Amino acid sequence: MADTIVTFTSRSLQEILESGGSQEWVLNRRNARNATYLVCARNANGDHAPGPEEHKSGFLLGKISGLGPGEWTPERFIIQISEYANIDVADLWTFGRNPIHYANLEDLGINLNKIDWKPVGSKPAAKRPAAPLRKVPVSIFDTAKEMIAKQLGIGVDAIEITIRT
């Protein structure tokens, strides 16, 4: 049975620590509940706060303290951690496109005897302001409306797209 959840994340170490864990994940609950450790590997191609680590390298090891609803998407999970350690494992992420993988710490080449644990801050993370709206070219909406209209067999003028923030 896997003792570690490995995430492929574009969030920075600071963002993970401020949130109290790595979040917005779709998890296999049974596997996640049995995990003791979290390992984060750098996705340098993501759209969050970049970190200095090399793409696919492992940079954080955490002791899982619980699972909770994601801050922005309650159907997704935050993997909460109580302690963490900085690690530097080159090319750790070898698991494909799904950004969650379940593994054993030993198989990842991480030796717990060499880990210097630090507590994660006990103060609750402050809510981040909503991300600024992105300007989306009108052609994306036109394309979407055409696809929906075609699928439903109705006119494009009958389709309205509403965005709520």
Compute, in degrees rounded to 10, the torsion defined by CA atoms 148, 152, 154, 158. -50
Q: Token pair for residue 27?
A: 């998890």
Q: Which of 30-44, 100-114, 137-151 has the lowest mean pLDDT?
A: 137-151
pLDDT given for residue 139 in this prediction: 64
Tell me how far apart the alpha carbons of residues 61 and 143 are, in angstroms, rounded to a whole number: 43
SS3 94: coil
Tell me how far apart the alpha carbons of residues 36 and 68 are, in angstroms, rounded to a whole number: 15
> What pLDDT, in 10s, does the model give residues 60-101?
999 999 999 888 887 899 999 999 999 999 999 999 999 999
Q: Token pair for residue 99?
A: 């950004």
Tell me how far apart the alpha carbons of residues 144 and 131 are, in angstroms, rounded to a whole number: 23
Closest CA to 63 of 124, 20, 98, 11: 20
Compute, in degrees rounded to 10, the torsion defined by CA atoms 51, 57, 59, 60. 120
Tell me how far apart the alpha carbons of residues 162 and 90 are, in angstroms, rounded to a whole number: 44
Across 104-121, average pLDDT: 93
> What pLDDT, in 10s, does the model give residues 39-49?
999 999 877 76
Residue 126 has pLDDT above 70, yes or no: no
The residue ranges of DSSP E strands in 21-161, in sequence order, are 21-25, 37-42, 58-69, 77-89, 100-103, 118-119
pLDDT given for residue 123 in this prediction: 46
pLDDT given for residue 159 in this prediction: 82
pLDDT band at 133 (very low <50, low <70, confident <90, very high): very low
Q: Are 28 and 67 in contact (CB under 8 A)?
A: no
